[in-house]
Chain A
Amino acid sequence: MTIAEWLDIGWVDQIPVRGSRTVQVAGGDDIAVFRTAEGKVFALLDRCPHKHGRLSQGIVHGGAVACPLHNWRISLSTGEALGDDKGCTPTVPVKIDGGRVLICRASTLKAAA
């Protein structure tokens, strides 16, 4: 049996525009899946590099999310903190296929480790 490289997590439409949903990974951090105003989808660990705020709960603007706890801005594509803040949240590769959102299995497992 071949091991799928990608995990299917649902339809793109299930993620609100300029919003996010989470994927729970048992025993690990949640993964936050974002959808920007332009309809791009990104996934990151749901953990702010500052004090582990849930990025999924932040305000999404442009290609970044503002952490709900202390307002750091985190880039959705690289996970880097923007502006003067320093830190990085691991990203999870995402692929869209026929309206379905697929996330990278290996990175997802890493989140659980």
Chain B
Amino acid sequence: MEYRPLNPGPDTREHLVVIGNGMAGCRAVEELLARDADRYRVTIFGAEPRVNYNRIMLSPVLAGEKSFDDIVINDADWYAANGIALVAGDPVMAIDRAAKTVTTRGGTTESYDRLLIATGSDPFIIPVPGKDLPGVIAFRDMDDVDTMLAAADAGGDAVVIGGGLLGLEAAHGLSLRGMKVTVIHLMPTLMERQLDEAAGWLLKNALEARGQTILTGADTAEIVGDAKVEGVKLKDGTLIPASLVVMAVGIRPSVALARNAGLAVGRGIQVDDHMVTSDPAVLAVGECVEHDGQVYGLVAPLWDMCRSLADGLVEQPTGYRGSVTSTKLKVSGIDVFSAGDFSGGDGCEDIVLRDASRGIYKRVIVKDDRIVGAVLYGDTADGSWYFDLLKKQEDVSDLRDLLIFGQAFASGGGAADPKAAVAALSADAEICGCNGVTKGQVVSCIAKGAHSLDAVRGTCKASASCGSCTGLVEMLLALTLGDEVQAGPKTMCKCTSFGHDDVRREIVAQGMRSIPEAMQQMHWTTPDGCSSCRPALNYYLLCALPGEYVDDQQSRFVNERLHANIQKDGTYSVVPRMWGGLTNPTELRAIADVVEKYDAPMVKVTGGQRLDIFGIKKEDLPAVWADLNAAGMVSGHAYGKALRTVKTCVGSEWCRFGTQDSTGLGVKIERMSWGSWMPHKFKIAVSGCPRNCAEATIKDFGIVCVDSGYELHVGGNGGIHVRVTDLLCKVATEQEAMDYCAAFIQLYREEARYLERTAPWIERVGVEQIKARIVDDTAGREALRARFLYAQSFSQDDPWAQRAGGAEAEHHAPMARFIPQEALV
């Protein structure tokens, strides 16, 4: 430090007054001192009663990894040595721009030549009842940390509202301090602003494994308690006990002072490229400012801002041009990184690498040969490399194929061609980590005749488990065989290298519970799948976890999402169930009334023995359903990969040839099987005699009644390729007919591929197989039947009644309406 004599006379230098003793305010002063230490006389006002510290390190302090002293940036000596007057613990309450003075709460008034506002942000407190109770705090300064530490000492439960960066760091710290922590997050995935769904899912899993309870899609209704906080109540009624509630739902630039002083304020205090506000004597920097429409909530932009600010203060203006930011979560043992734009979109190409066994997810988004975003989970070592390439807008076309493997791989070895890199591997290099298979073993297995991916998986097991080495195996096939490689099994879609059967088997074997989990475990190459794999995964999970899996509405085709059939003009058709094709005056009247009341242009008898009402508007659907429900009718699932109709004929009740009560049996079967979701639509018919008026022999399951009992037929199909059923067997009683039917449906549900009807399924696996499982194996049949009935106990809930009762109203109502005259004003 250079020696400066104490100035004996009055200090005539220009006076720079700084409001805010935080990260930006002090950094700006440091930058200024570095440029011209004598230029200004400096006074800093800080609301907090302490010196300048590193706010981002409050998280490690809370977690017990650091003390306050460790995180001080500038101690008292620094202020003294630089002749800076610090007024700590006394906030500035007003700025008088005409008089060029500031006044504090304690009554001190100080005049300025230049004023710098660096007031940071205020935590956003959601306006729910109970928000002011003692024990409800934000996470912004050292006082908050002290409050949390005191609460943790007392033990008990904590609730953190907000599953963003700040909330998760608070939750982590509190849980390390021994509290039982629940995180309430409004959005479906954690840190949704920084992470995509896949990474958010991994993060949630990791935090849950550490004992935190994470509630996503959870909306806080109120904070309860008498004299102090006792719990948090959610909108769905759940009550979570808590002696401490931390609100970490977001921040708002702290602009009140500036606004009251008449400065231009948008979302933040508006500044130009030199951090000058609408008043040339007043500057602003940090989280409180808005530059070029942007406000920031991270420190990196502040450093850039402080540099241009200081350049301006010493009349060597450079100018701030905005910042690109990256994020890391400071939770020890969990590595998360994100940068740039990961929303995908046009011309954007996603490069995804998933390694389930090591819990890694990496996604780099490339557009026009430049990296535009990156999300890394589990292995963030290359985060700074990607971020650097992104900021410099470097052309990555040469690195493209190896980019995702990281810097070491992409720039090392000089092998820009991944095939060459694989060719260069030695014979004992391990290809498949799960099964310990070397390159030599894969190559020799290919040489012995395994000429497809499937064949390799079947023989030496390489890539047969987690599949992350599929790409390597494919390269070895291409290297060894050239053009002779046989196409592998048909994959589900372009997002995966696995076929339907593999995916299904793994979902069950690994006990997967959600779509993001399946995508991670099976190395999907897209972040959120596509319109073919998402509905399939949703079905497989639904079938595997009856009563537990929460259906993903956004992975359903529109008809199943809206429980009606979309028509070419965007209206819907509505088909109520008519059990076994029977109806009565009440139902017919209700249908007639609906047709009139909602101006349906057409009503028609379907080929499935019921009535179809056409031309209903999306908004009117819930009301139509309420009217039909009132007459006792439920959804006919005419839109679903589900049980459609059970067609019947009149049977022994009326028909002179009828041998059994085909109508009655049809009704019973429909009552048993309605509501079940299937790989494809499923149709049943019961005919009273071999004349077969109900066309039972072109149905998925058909019953033809005969004198001595019931012939059961399976795998029939009208439609594009007509297929007549195979005879499964003959049974003597109605009960047996129903039991076999239930077992057959369940076998189809569990083993057919999504969008495979029974006809192609049976052609693929052979009817003998089906007979062996349903007819010969009594115990197996019983188990299948029991599983079907168990699943049905959850699915026979009329979806129309739920919607008519107001569930998922957002699917039906527009968000807003405009008439052009209104839009003009």
Contacts and interface: CB of A to CB of B under 8 A. Distances in A.
Interface of A: 1, 3, 7, 9-10, 13-19, 21-28, 30, 33, 36-40, 46, 51-54, 57-63, 66, 68-69, 71, 73, 75-78, 80, 97-98, 105, 108-109, 112
B819 A37 contact: no
Given A18-B528, A75-B346, A37 B197 contact: yes
Given A22-B814, A39-B193, A62 B820 contact: no
B814 A24 contact: yes
Nearest to A78: B346
B184 to A, nearest CB: 14
Contacts of B189: 17, 37
B530 A61 contact: yes
Nearest to A46: B570
Nearest to A9: B816
Nearest to B373: A38
Nearest to B556: A59
Contact of B192 (A28, A39, A69): A39
Interface residues of B, number: 47
13 contacts: A1-B825, A27-B820, A36-B343, A37-B527, A38-B197, A38-B343, A40-B343, A53-B568, A57-B561, A57-B570, A66-B530, A73-B531, A77-B345
Contacts of A108: 818, 823
Task: Kindly list the 4 A-B residue pairs having the minimum CB-CB distance in the complex, ordered from nearest.
Answer: A63-B345, A66-B531, A21-B815, A18-B554
A75 B251 CA distance: 33
Contacts of A19: 553-554
Nearest to B345: A63
Contact of A23 (B345, B553, B818): B818
Contact of A80 (B346, B531, B823): B346
A57 B562 contact: yes
B188 A17 contact: yes
Contacts of A22: 814-815
Contacts of B345: 40, 62-63, 75-77
A45 to B, nearest CB: 12
Given A9-B815, A61-B528, A38 B554 contact: no
B588 interface: no
Given A14-B810, A27-B819, A68-B559, 20 more contacts: A1-B825, A9-B815, A13-B186, A14-B815, A16-B553, A16-B810, A17-B188, A19-B553, A21-B814, A24-B818, A25-B823, A37-B197, A37-B527, A38-B344, A63-B345, A68-B566, A69-B566, A75-B345, A78-B346, A97-B267
A109 B568 contact: no
Contacts of A77: 345-346
Interface string B556-578: 11110110001010100000000
B558 A57 contact: yes
A59 B557 contact: yes
A62 B186 CA distance: 21
B820 A25 contact: yes
Contacts of A71: 531
Contacts of B814: 21-24, 30
Nearest to A1: B825
Contacts of B186: 13
Given A97-B267, A105-B823, A61 B558 contact: no
Nearest to B569: A52
Given A3-B825, A23-B815, A38-B344, A62 B810 contact: no
Contact of A51 (B188, B267, B534, B568): B568
Interface in B686-702: none
Interface string B172-211: 0000000000000011110011001100000000000000
B196 A69 contact: no
Contact of B818 (A15, A16, A26, A39): A26
B342 interface: yes
Interface in B507-551: 526-531, 534-535
A24 B817 contact: yes
B344 A62 contact: yes
Nearest to B555: A59
A63 B343 CA distance: 7
Interface in B783-825: 810, 814-820, 823-825
B205 to A, nearest CB: 17
B350 interface: yes
B344 A10 contact: no
A38 B346 CA distance: 15
Nearest to B567: A69
Nearest to A13: B186
B348 interface: yes
B566 A54 contact: yes
A59 B818 contact: no
Contacts of B535: 59
B818 A68 contact: no
A53 B192 contact: no
Given A36-B343, A54-B566, A23 B816 contact: yes
Contacts of A60: 554
B820 A63 contact: no
B531 A59 contact: yes
A9 B823 CA distance: 11
B192 A25 contact: no
B567 to A, nearest CB: 9
B818 A25 contact: yes
A62 to B, nearest CB: 5
B267 A109 contact: no
A10 B824 CA distance: 18
Contacts of A51: 568
B755 to A, nearest CB: 13
Contacts of B553: 16, 19
A14 B808 CA distance: 11
A54 B618 CA distance: 11
Nearest to A66: B531
Nearest to B252: A98
A28 B819 CA distance: 9
Contacts of A13: 186
A76 to B, nearest CB: 7
A95 B734 CA distance: 63
Nearest to A26: B819
B621 to A, nearest CB: 12
B123 to A, nearest CB: 15
B823 A57 contact: no
A97 to B, nearest CB: 7
A110 B424 CA distance: 60
Contacts of B534: 59, 61
Given A9-B815, A75-B346, A98-B267, A62 B562 contact: no
Instruction: From B186, B188, B553, B823, name the one whose CB has the most chain A CB atoms within 10 angstroms.
Output: B823
Contacts of B526: 61-62
